[in-house]
Amino acid sequence: MKVAVIQMVSGADVSANLRQAAELLRQAADQGGELLVLPEYFCLISQRDADKLALQEPLGQGPLQRFLADSSRELGVWLVGGTIPLSCDGATTALTSNQVFNSTLVFSPKGRCVARYDKIHLFRFDNGREHYDESEVLAAGTVPVHFDLPSTDGHTWRIGLSVCYDLRFPELYRHHAQAGSHLLLVPSAFTHTTGQDHWELLLRARAIENLSFVAAAAQGGLHDNQRRTWGHSMLVDPWGKVLAQRPEGPGVVFDELDFELLGHCRQRLPALQHRVL
């Protein structure tokens, strides 16, 4: 299956971000990409996290969801829409009116939304110079989500969803492996500070321990708000080999994932069958 992860440097202008995303998606589709993945916050990285509240949409309607649906249909691709802010209306958990879900939506080549994942783990970091606390604006999801993609390669790929900070919690990815996932997606906006030390290490570890492909679409560069993200969007095979990556700046990271390689790795080292806990 031909997979493309999109790297962006999103800013405070939503329209400009969508134009950049549309161009990169078209480039990926022109290369033959069947599954395209946008990064976390592809639609907006602005001065204040609270700006996401004004951009929130109810599930099933709004310009961001129309953009994703139209893009997948017009390009004839499976599209994983990074993340967008979805309203908490109707949620069963106790939430405030000043929170949204940071949600990944998956669209089929017909433009139909086939899966939704709300980011479970919310990032918090403070080293005295940088401070982040996503829980001030975001509500945490509670349910792992995967979807099935019948590929033109003749195989049905089971694909597990995650977002950014989730990467530090291996139990989520083991849950996906237990459910039979072959490919793990990680749309992200890793900080430069944490990314330079942990990003590749964590992605390769998740691939190796679950004997799964990993596709990570990242934000990568200096944003309008002077935040710098690490980038290094990449594709990793089940043996932990980095197949392709892009250090910084907008662009497309593309490769063809070999389903037979996955089966070979799992047969050669049947670690998923050896679990005792």
Q: Pick from 14, 35, 148: which is nearest to 84 by CA?
A: 14
Is 211 strand, coil or helix?
coil
User: How many folded domains does the chain comprise?
Assistant: 1
Alpha-carbon distance of 265 to 208, in angstroms, equals: 10
Alpha-carbon distance of 173 to 190, in angstroms, equals: 18
**Confidence (pLDDT) at 91:** 54
Q: CATH no. for residue 108?
A: 3.60.110.10
Is 181 strand, coil or helix?
coil
Mean pLDDT score across all residues of the chain: 96
**Confidence (pLDDT) at 89:** 73
CA dist 230 to 122, 126, 149, 224, Å? 18, 17, 29, 15
Alpha-carbon distance of 237 to 245, in angstroms, equals: 12
Flag whether pLDDT at 189 surpasses 60: yes
pLDDT tens readout for residues 71-130: 999 999 999 999 999 999 755 444 556 899 999 999 999 999 999 999 999 999 999 998
Residues 266-273, mean pLDDT to the nearest whole number: 96
Alpha-carbon distance of 216 to 261, in angstroms, equals: 19
**Confidence (pLDDT) at 182:** 98
Token digits of residue 214: 């990993």
Flag whether pLDDT at 20 surpasses 80: yes
Helix axes 14-30, 63-75, angle to 10 degrees: 20
Which amino acid, one-letter code, is at 149? L
Contact 213, 238 (CB under 8 A): yes
Q: Which residue has the tokens 């080292």?
A: 269
The secondary structure of 120-163 as a DSSP string is: -SPPEEE-SS-EEEGGGTEEPP----EEEEE-TTS-EEEEEE--
Q: Pick from 222, 221, 75: which is nearest to 233 by CA?
A: 221
Token digits of residue 39: 């990064």
Residues 148-176, mean pLDDT to the nearest whole number: 98
**pLDDT above 70: percentage of residues in the chain:** 97
Alpha-carbon distance of 3 to 31, in angstroms, equals: 10
Range of the domain at 219: 2-273
Residues 20-42, mean pLDDT to the nearest whole number: 98
Tell me the pLDDT band of 45, cut-offs 50, 70 and 90: very high
**Confidence (pLDDT) at 39:** 98
Residues 216-240, mean pLDDT to the nearest whole number: 97
Exposure b/e, 30-55, CB count within 10 A at least 16 = b: eeebbbbbbbbbbbbbbeebebbeeb
Q: Give the N- to C-terminal CA distance of the chain in Å, as an integer.
A: 33
- Please give the positions annotated as active site: 40, 119, 164
**Confidence (pLDDT) at 92:** 46
